[in-house]
Amino acid sequence: MTELLIYSALSLGGVAAGFAVVLYIISQRFKVEEDPRIGEVTELLPGINCGACGYPGCSGLAEALVDAADEGDISHLTCPPGGADTMKQVGRYFGLEVGSKHKTLAVLRCGGSFAAAPAKNEYQGPETCAIAHSLYVGVNGCPHSCLRLADCEVACPFDAIEMNDETGLPEVIPELCTSCGACVKACPRDLFEIRPRGKGKAERRVWINCRNKQPGGIARKNCSVACIGCGKCVRVCNEIVQAISMEDNLAYIDPYKCISCGKCVPVCPTKAILATFTPPKPKEPKKETADTQA
């Protein structure tokens, strides 16, 4: 009995030792040197692997950062959810300048609420925008409208999008949004845009709350707050900074040119321009336009 135990222990031990030697040799022979900085930089990043930076996860960005640091310039790389704070730490780690990227967030560009764009038909299919969009124009007849089925809410990894039961539209919660871009990808109608948060502590920003490229009359038929391409905002803005352009009956405010003066907001006849602050003057007071949608 004891003999059996000894032989077993010896033979198994021998086999184990043999494998250990082989494994050791192989591990030495085929050793992969990983830059220890990659691990350390990964630690500095948020670790949520959202992919908003354009690299596969945080370690992917860390690798790119290390490569870029070796070439002496990391200013083109950024971590949208981490924002300036994270990048400052990364910059300090490498002792390099980081890009002065604007802090951004996702902005919904549609005002097709239950009230503004009432339903003309009933949708009974699966509750997802992707399917509704591939089937037909949508409940309110506007081919560029929000389908109100919450694919963005489901896609947001930070719970920063909530459907508003009263309007039917999604709302971005600025405090939680990291501008990772998941909603931009999820929306089949391309209604989200990553835009700078805007001037000052109050985050003053102005945007066209519509994506409808149809001629004004048709757009207006389906939605009372559609951009009708009248060009009034363009004319007002042209006197100041030329931040608004008009293409296919749809105005667009370039956020990097816009100075958030808000003068375009009251001139819009359909209230299709939204701002996060109360725009200046006009003759009659504006209530809805000051609605802080985002």
Q: Does 221 bind another protein (CB under 8 A)?
A: no
Burial of 192 per CB tally in 10 Å (0-12, 13-18, 19+): buried
Q: Does 51 bind another protein (CB under 8 A)?
A: no
Q: Could you say which of 51, 138, 170, 266 contacts another protein (CB under 8 A)?
A: 138
> Any long-range contacts for 62-69 (C-beta under 8 Å, 24+ apart)?
62/37, 62/38, 63/38, 65/41, 65/90, 65/94, 66/35, 66/37, 66/38, 66/41, 69/37, 69/94, 69/96
If we measure between CA atoms, which residue out of 118, 195, 109 comes closest to residue 152? 109
Q: Does 56 bind another protein (CB under 8 A)?
A: no
The pair of structure tokens assigned to 159 is 């719970």
User: What is the three-class DSSP state of 251?
Assistant: strand
144 Cβ contact list (under 8 Å, min separation 6): 110, 189, 191, 210, 211, 212, 213, 214
Of the two residues 36 and 217, which places its CB atom closer to another protein in the complex?
217
Chain centroid, CA 177 distance in Å: 8
Site string for another protein, 188-217 (x = CB under 8 A): --------------------------x---
C-alpha neighbours within 13 Å on the C-beta side of residue 41: 29
Give the single-character DSSP code of 270.
Answer: T
Of the two residues 132 and 206, which places its CB atom closer to another protein in the complex?
132
Least distance in angstroms from the C-beta of 10 to another protein: 50
Q: Which stretch binds another protein (CB under 8 A): 41-49, 131-139, 263-271, 273-281?
A: 131-139
Helix axes 57-70, 83-94, angle to 10 degrees: 40
Q: Does 145 bind another protein (CB under 8 A)?
A: no
Nearest-angstrom CA–CA distance, 253 and 187: 21
Q: Does 141 bind another protein (CB under 8 A)?
A: yes
Q: Could you say which of 47, 125, 269, 282 contacts another protein (CB under 8 A)?
A: 125
Site string for another protein, 83-122 (x = CB under 8 A): -------------------------------------xxx
Of the two residues 91 and 141, which places its CB atom closer to another protein in the complex?
141
* Residues binding another protein: number (CB under 8 A): 17
Contacts (CB under 8 A) with another protein, residues 27-46 = none
Q: Could you say which of 29, 124, 175, 201 contacts another protein (CB under 8 A)?
A: 124
Of the two residues 152 and 261, which places its CB atom closer to another protein in the complex?
152
Residues near another protein, by CB under 8 A: 120-122, 124-126, 130-131, 134-138, 141, 143, 214, 218
